[in-house]
């Protein structure tokens, strides 16, 4: 167990964490704006991964040259992002929107229902067994170092997640839509009073969350190389844990939480054993919720009467 081993695990953890962060953003944004734990988000990403796999097959990307592969991956991210984003908006319009004023239990249970429906679609799409996702990128080491691995795949994660995060923070901090989103998340009624179209802002939030999830699904396929119709539950739970750890509703919090959860998972797998990873992550979740329910970067908000 050398220092280099530790460094390697940290590298794996941070790359994984970037992926988790991308999914966590979808949870945290939707929660921040309508207070819904979107149970279906993990399964939405599963559907994105299904689409990515089908597209890879249909476009014959396994046979493409390196340059075409990179362009193709860009296209995949865009297409799957659009698909997941629009699907998310459609689900919000059909299922959650009529329940805006209902007790909180109603949208939560509906989200569980939507997650079932997605899983069933994924089951038809992929079949009951896990499918392997083709290796589109060479696994050559980019570092001239035998003990430390940083492959094209890891680079891909950084290359996609980095710009998306920057774009998101520009959007939220710098644009009118972002301002409207922050306003609605603080107080929907007051936002509506000053002329914000709340429904449009909510739809936009669902779209952005879904788009990031779609991008994450492509990366997931390329990076983990195995997808299955049940992947949504476990991954969604990790991402949700990350969102809560960072402080749900907080965008930088979700990113930080994702990285921390990625690190914890990698180190737990390496030093405690792969099969305990899930238990450790959820035990951490419970401990955080008990001692610091507002998360690392969240603000403590009194529950309104």
Partner 1 sequence: MATNQAPKTSSPPASPDGPWGFLAQRWELVTLAVLAVAPLVIPALGGALGGQVTNLFIYCILALALNVMVGYTGLVHLGIASFFGIGAYVLAILTVPMYPFQIGFLAAAVIAVLVTAGTGLALGAPTLRLRGDYLAIVTLGFGEVVKVTLRNLEQITGGMKGLNPVPPPGAGVTLAGIDLGKEFAIDPRWFYYLALLSLAGVVLGMRRLENSRLGRALVAVREDELAAQAMGISATRVKLAAFAMSSAVAGLAGCLYAASLSTTADPNAYDFNRSIMVLCAVILGGLGSIPGTLLGVAILVGFDTVLAPWADSWIQQMNVNPKGLSYLSFSGWRLAIFGVALVLVMRYRPEGLIPSRRLAAELHEGGSGS
The whole-angstrom separation of Cα 275 and Cα 265 is 11
Considering only 87, 119, 256, 260, the residue that binds partner 1 (CB under 8 A) is: 119
Identified binder of partner 1 from the candidate list 37, 46, 49, 136, rule CB under 8 A: 37
Minimum distance between the CB of residue 117 and partner 1, rounded to whole angstroms? 4
Q: Which stretch binds partner 1 (CB under 8 A): 8-16, 99-107, 201-209, 257-265?
A: 99-107
Residue in this structure with the two tokens 């699904």, named with its chain if needed: 217
Binding mask 230-269 for partner 1 (x = CB under 8 A): ---x---x--xx--x-------------------------
Per CB under 8 A, 283 contacts partner 1: yes
Q: Smallest distance, Å, CB 222 to partner 1?
A: 27
Residue 280: is it exposed, middle or buried by C-beta count within 10 angstroms (0-12/13-18/19+)? middle
- CA 36 – CA 278 distance, rounded (Å): 24
Residue 31 neighbours by CB under 8 Å, 6+ apart: 37, 38, 243, 248, 249
Per rule CB under 8 A, is residue 108 in the interface with partner 1?
yes
Helix/strand number for the chain, H first, E second: 11, 2
Given candidates 7, 123, 147, 167, which one binds partner 1 under the rule CB under 8 A? 123
Complete DSSP assignment for 114-160: HHHHHHHHHHHHH-SS-EEPP--S---BSSS-SS---BHHHHHHHHH
Q: How many residues bind partner 1 (CB under 8 A)?
A: 48
Among 6, 143, 173, 282, binds partner 1 (CB under 8 A): 282
Residue 279 touches partner 1, criterion: CB under 8 A: yes
Q: Is 166 in the site for partner 1 (CB under 8 A)?
A: no
How far is the C-alpha of 152 from the C-alpha of 223, rounded, in Å?
A: 10
Q: Which residue has the tokens 């953890």?
A: 13
In the list 175, 186, 286, 292, the residue contacting partner 1 (rule: CB under 8 A) is 286
151 - beta bridge partners? 141
Dihedral of CA atoms 278, 237, 54, 228 in degrees, nearest 10, equals 40
Which position among 102, 142, 158, 167 is part of the footprint of partner 1 (CB under 8 A)? 102
DSSP 8-state symbol, 65: -
> How far, in Å, CA of 214 to CA of 87, rounded?
10
Residue 123 C-beta: closest distance to partner 1, Å: 7
Pick from 60, 128, 144, 194: which binds partner 1 (CB under 8 A)?
Answer: 128
- Of 5, 90, 104, 132, the one binding partner 1 (CB under 8 A) is 104
Contact 269, 225 (CB under 8 A): no
- Residues of this chain that interact with partner 1 (CB under 8 A) are 35, 37, 95, 98-99, 101-110, 112-121, 123-124, 127-128, 233, 237, 240-241, 244, 275-276, 278-279, 282-283, 285-286, 289-290, 293, 303-305
């Amino acid at each position: 167990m050398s220092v280099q081993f530790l460094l390697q695990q940290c590298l794996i953890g941070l790359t994984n964490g970037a992926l988790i962060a991308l999914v966590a953003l979808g949870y945290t944004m939707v929660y921040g704006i309508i207070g819904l734990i979107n149970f279906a988000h993990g399964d939405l990403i599963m559907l994105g991964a299904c689409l990515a796999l089908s597209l890879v097959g249909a476009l014959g990307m396994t046979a493409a040259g390196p340059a075409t592969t990179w362009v193709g991956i860009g296209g995949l991210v865009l297409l799957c992002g659009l698909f997941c984003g629009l699907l998310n908006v459609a689900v919000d319009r059909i299922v959650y929107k009529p329940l805006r004023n209902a007790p909180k239990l109603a949208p939560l249970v509906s989200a569980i229902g939507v997650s079932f429906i997605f899983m069933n679609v994924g089951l038809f799409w992929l079949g009951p067994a896990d499918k392997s996702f083709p290796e589109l990128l060479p696994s050559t080491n980019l570092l001239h170092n035998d003990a430390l691995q940083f492959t094209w795949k890891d680079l891909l994660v950084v290359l996609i997640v980095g710009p998306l995060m920057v774009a998101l923070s520009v959007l939220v901090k710098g644009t009118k839509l972002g301002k409207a989103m922050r306003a609605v998340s603080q107080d929907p009624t007051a936002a509506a009073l000053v002329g914000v179209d709340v429904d449009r802002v909510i739809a936009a939030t669902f779209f952005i969350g879904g788009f990031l999830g779609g991008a994450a699904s492509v990366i997931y396929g390329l990076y983990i190389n195995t997808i299955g119709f049940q992947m949504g539950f476990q991954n969604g739970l990790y991402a949700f844990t990350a969102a809560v750890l960072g402080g749900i509703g907080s965008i930088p919090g979700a990113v930080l939480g994702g990285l921390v959860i990625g690190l914890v998972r990698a180190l737990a797998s390496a030093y405690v054993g792969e099969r305990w990873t899930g238990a450790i992550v959820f035990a951490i979740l419970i401990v955080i919720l008990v001692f610091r329910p507002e998360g690392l970067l969240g603000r403590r908000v009194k529950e309104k009467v």
